[in-house]
């Protein structure tokens, strides 16, 4: 489908959301240039889990099929969490699948990017382009400045440059980053499943994600690469301290296993087996956008993904919200009536839809972390945990985004300026 537009689009950031946006537009005949700070795409990778809402957004963009061809499984599989105690014999606390079965998808970030890159014109992909500033020109267009001294111009700037976004400052008009350190760290590791079984692991971890609940800490394990590998994320939090501003320096460092062993030494045997199979681990300092942004748009600069709503990962919903952002934006931009003359009105519709929804998930994700870490506190045992976990993912998974966008477009089509633009095509 060809839908050439009279405005130029620059996407800053070539991660999962940036490339999804570029491909979604390209499939609709709309060209966009992607500017990525790294020397190659997918330089940093981790496993991500996609819920039903994220899968629907990818399908709506027209990119689910090539992603599925590269994924661990060739179709979505049941991925609802099982919650167990991190202590003792790891008693079952709550089986989410028994109450609300959820199909999802696990994929390695570089694999996702590899699936999308063939759909893009290489001439539109620009590496080693770290955007440092965005200025609006007298013409109404925007000039992007890069660290190598070069500049580019565009009529629409899409900020998909992650949680440490430069483009966010162009929207908030604030020199601060808008980020806080959540007082939570996460240790990430990939472990061969067979080695855990040989070591005596009893809890089944190769078919479903498992959350091992504890006091001020928890573990998440989920199978990757057709259950050959176990993706392990071990969280530790300090809730007694107020969240403070963004940490300076690196947010990721390599630490020895001994640091992790000390943190989880009071937990049960299966957790200890998992920890004992970690070599050097990547320690991530978890940040979030705080307070949540009231708007994701300023003029014709728009934020998607972590640039807009970087959140804690406890509902595994951050990238899914980014795909929802992209789905909404692509549908709005690709509408036959969308032109440079009404672009502000179109972006206003995006801004009416996305902050309300994504900020709700941002706040729910932080709350979920406290629930996962609340086990073991006075009055917060298995019964309390099961009650708090019931339905925790339902608002994330079962939102009818397509219907919401359909209604918004119908409203937009009733606008006289938008309708007039359509009549000229």
- Could you give the strand order of the β-sheet that contains 77-78, starting from the edge strand earlier in sequence? 47-50, 103-108, 77-78
Residue with tokens 């309708």: 419
pLDDT at 340: 96
CA distance 350 to 345: 9
CA distance 294 to 356: 8
CA distance 24 to 18: 10
CA distance 64 to 386: 34
pLDDT at residue 422 greater than cutoff 80: no
**Cβ proximity of 159 and 18 under 8 Å:** no
Question: What dihedral do alpha carbons 304, 248, 373, 377 form, nearest 10°?
Answer: -140
The mean-pLDDT minimum among 147-161, 193-207, 249-263, 376-390 falls in 376-390
- The β-bridge partners of 303 are 159
pLDDT at 45: 60
DSSP class per residue in 14-43: -SHHHHHHHHHHHTTT---EEE-SSSSTT-
CA distance 300 to 353: 16
pLDDT at 174: 79
What H or E segment, with its residue span, contains residue 101? none
- The β-bridge partners of 389 are none
CA distance 205 to 220: 10
pLDDT at 348: 96
CA distance 13 to 10: 9
- For the stretch 126-175, pLDDT in tens is 999 999 999 999 999 999 999 999 999 999 999 999 999 999 999 998 77
DSSP class per residue in 107-138: EEHHHHHHHHGGGS-GGGEE-S--EEEEEE-T
pLDDT at 347: 97
CB count within 10 Å of CB 402 equals: 15
Q: Which residue has the higher pLDDT, 424 or 215?
A: 215
- For the stretch 330-360, pLDDT in tens is 999 999 999 999 999 999 999 999 999 999 9
CA distance 358 to 201: 38
CA distance 286 to 338: 38
pLDDT at 419: 60
Most confident of 51-55, 158-162, 207-211, 411-415: 158-162
Query: Averaged over 225-244, what is the pLDDT?
Result: 89
pLDDT at residue 421 greater than cutoff 50: no
- For the stretch 7-63, pLDDT in tens is 999 999 999 999 999 999 999 999 999 999 999 886 566 667 788 999 999 999 999
């Amino acid at each position: 489908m060809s839908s050439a537009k009279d405005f130029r689009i620059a996407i800053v950031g070539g991660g999962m959301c940036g490339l999804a946006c570029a491909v979604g537009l390209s499939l609709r005949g709309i060209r966009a240039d992607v500017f990525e700070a790294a020397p190659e795409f997918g330089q940093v990778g981790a496993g991500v889990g996609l819920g039903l809402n994220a899968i629907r957004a990818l399908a709506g963009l027209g990119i689910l099929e090539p992603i599925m061809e590269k994924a661990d499984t060739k179709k979505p599989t049941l991925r609802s969490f099982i919650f167990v105690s991190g202590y003792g014999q790891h008693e079952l606390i709550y089986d989410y699948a028994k109450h609300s079965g959820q199909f999802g998808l696990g994929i390695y970030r570089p694999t996702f990017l590899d699936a999308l890159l063939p759909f893009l014109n290489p001439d539109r992909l620009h590496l080693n382009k770290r955007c440092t500033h965005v200025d609006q020109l007298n013409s109404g267009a925007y000039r992007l400045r890069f660290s190598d001294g070069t500049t580019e111009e565009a009529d629409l700037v899409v900020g998909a440059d992650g949680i440490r976004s430069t483009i966010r400052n162009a929207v908030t008009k604030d020199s601060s980053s808008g980020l806080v350190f959540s007082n939570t760290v996460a240790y990430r590791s990939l472990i061969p499943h067979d080695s855990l079984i040989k070591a005596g692991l009893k809890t089944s971890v190769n078919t479903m994600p498992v959350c091992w609940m504890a006091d001020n800490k928890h573990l998440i394990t989920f199978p990757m690469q057709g259950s050959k590998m176990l993706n392990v994320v071990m969280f530790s939090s300090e809730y007694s301290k107020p969240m403070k501003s963004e940490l300076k320096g690196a947010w990721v460092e390599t630490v020895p296993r001994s640091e992790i062993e000390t943190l989880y030494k009071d937990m049960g045997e299966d957790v200890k087996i998992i920890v004992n199979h970690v070599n050097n681990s990547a320690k991530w300092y978890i940040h979030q956008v705080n307070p949540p942004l009231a708007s994701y748009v300023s003029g014709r600069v728009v934020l998607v993904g972590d640039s807009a709503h970087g959140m804690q990962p406890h509902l595994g919903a951050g990238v899914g919200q980014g795909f929802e952002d992209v789905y909404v934006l692509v549908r709005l931009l690709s509408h036959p009536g969308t032109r440079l003359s009404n672009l502000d009105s179109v972006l206003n519709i995006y801004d009416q839809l996305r902050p309300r929804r994504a900020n709700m998930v941002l706040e729910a994700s932080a709350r979920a972390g406290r629930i996962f870490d609340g086990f073991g506190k006075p009055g917060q045992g298995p019964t309390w945990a099961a009650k708090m976990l019931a339905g925790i993912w339902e608002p994330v998974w079962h939102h009818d985004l397509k219907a919401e966008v359909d209604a918004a477009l119908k409203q937009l089509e009733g606008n006289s300026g938008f309708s007039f633009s359509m009549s000229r095509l």
